[in-house]
Chains A and B, each alone.
Chain A
């Protein structure tokens, strides 16, 4: 099954800036890998249920006991930019 991939669209979804060379290389490599991976369709019939976790657990609960949070300065210590106990980011409206 030949695979056509809209690399620019996928990169946009992944929030990943790629150079034109990277896009070309990925287009070829992903096609090869996906053609190989598409083999899963040969054996996965409708009757087979999917597995998300090999060792399933249901409703894992622990006692709801409040404990102190991490100090704010430790949480912010690795941040590239901070303002008044908050992570600072550039404007969030996309510039066209």
Chain B
């Protein structure tokens, strides 16, 4: 029998409603799985066992009283860049090793209000900068499908925890692919919503014009439920969108007949692992079997998206990370005056990738270079948006691989930043254009590693995205549990 911690949130909600299990039991199952696997995975930076059991007991009362939202009693993990009142939030960085936020981020505040259960804070690349989780100051996370391989990044801890039953679902953040790429590499569903659909209040900023909060789940239905609970206008975030939030679960009709699916031609070229291309193509054929109208579409500026991203994101980061100055929170290394104190604090507190991006961004924004780099990158951003507009005039959703390869080996790309950056080549354009995208597992490669397919939809068409992803998931009917757990 499948253990409680390996079931989907939707299955568990039904068991909870019928009184066949309790939130405390489900929470204990997750904690036991963490006891067993954390020595191997390192997916969590902070565990909140006592808090979780307390919240679970309260959720059980609400469920018993018949007053329970869909997320009540389901154990959740949060990426450690999401602020939690009274619970240490490190961003995977030495500079915030002891930081305890005095307020909750909006997504968690909403979930807590709805009876969610917090298991802990997950490991990630430092300040969400990375594609392998190797940039965490607290050691890398390992991929549950192969402990010698990376889980992807930057939300690698959230992805690994959900894949391995250390959480039923999780939140992460996606600035250039940090939800979708690790979801693909760990065989779970990863959704990056439209920019602004989920409030960023309390999400510790990396690149403010690109940052989004996204979900890791074991099914597309779970993604719909979790998104529903966190989406919508929030007063503390001026960029959160005022538009009404539709019923995402109701969108899961299973019907994709006559839906126009555009396969992105640029996403099957050089550098894409043959098994990934073949797996994605085969899944697209299944969508055609279901009655979708499949065609090819070109996004000609794809090549330039990566270049623009690696100017815009570091530029915004260099500005956002100026706040870590040893004054109000975090590490301080003393110096003769304030300027020396700040420089020493930052030199000691930040890791190599964060330093690289701060330097890159500072240079790109500095006098004399602003126009040539940042200014030009912002123009490319306009061209990327135009590409999508042209594509969405002909197609309802677009398809590509989520990442060019399946999970790579620990250490394989650490010394080659450009090669590492390339693993986000298919996910970055959606952040630049603000459009929603989802990664769904579509199979395994010859080494038994998960392959992810990415669907992209127009702004605020999460309903469409979830409908197609759900139909595909039902049609494929995969059971992608890592061998570590299935045994």
Contacts and interface: CB of A to CB of B under 8 A. Distances in A.
Interface string A42-74: 111100111111110100101000000010001
A54 B380 contact: no
A78 B96 CA distance: 10
A53 B209 contact: yes
A80 interface: yes
Contacts of A48: 379, 382-383
Given A13-B366, A50-B379, A87-B327, A80 B332 contact: yes
B341 A90 contact: yes
A65 B356 CA distance: 42
Contacts of B364: 34, 37
B340 interface: yes
Contacts of B372: 38, 41
B326 to A, nearest CB: 6
B340 A95 contact: yes
Contact of B434 (A17, A39, A54): A54
Nearest to B338: A92
B433 interface: yes
Looking at chain A's contact residues, the main secondary structure is: loop
Contact of A79 (B328, B380, B417): B328
A81 B325 CA distance: 12
B357 to A, nearest CB: 10
A52 to B, nearest CB: 6
B205 to A, nearest CB: 14
Contacts of A33: 310, 356, 360, 417-418, 421
Given A90-B334, A90-B337, A36 B209 contact: no
A13 B362 contact: yes
B378 interface: yes
B363 A49 contact: no
A54 B432 contact: yes
A77 B383 contact: no
B102 A70 contact: yes
A37 B310 contact: yes
B214 interface: no
A48 B338 CA distance: 43
A29 B356 contact: yes
Interface residues of B, number: 76
Contacts of B385: 51, 54
A78 B327 CA distance: 9
A30 B346 CA distance: 19
Contacts of B383: 43-44, 48
B358 A16 contact: yes
Nearest to A7: B359
Given A48-B383, A54-B381, A90-B334, A40 B102 contact: no
B432 A18 contact: no
Contacts of B318: 14
Contacts of B327: 79-80, 87, 89
A33 B98 CA distance: 33
Given A33-B417, A55-B194, A94 B99 contact: no
Contacts of B379: 40, 43-45, 48-51
13 contacts: A5-B363, A15-B342, A16-B358, A30-B356, A33-B421, A37-B311, A51-B378, A51-B381, A55-B459, A60-B238, A89-B327, A90-B334, A92-B337
The 8 closest A-B pairs by CB, nearest first: A54-B434, A17-B347, A50-B378, A44-B379, A80-B332, A78-B329, A51-B381, A17-B343
Given A32-B417, A34-B360, 4 more contacts: A16-B358, A37-B373, A54-B433, A57-B238
Interface of A: 5, 7, 10-11, 13-19, 22, 26, 29-30, 32-34, 36-45, 48-55, 57, 60, 62, 70, 74-75, 77-81, 87, 89-95
Interface of B: 98-100, 102-103, 194-196, 209, 235, 238-239, 241, 301, 303-304, 306-308, 310-311, 318, 322, 325-332, 334-344, 346-348, 350, 352, 355-356, 358-360, 362-364, 366, 372-373, 375-383, 385, 417-418, 421, 432-435, 459
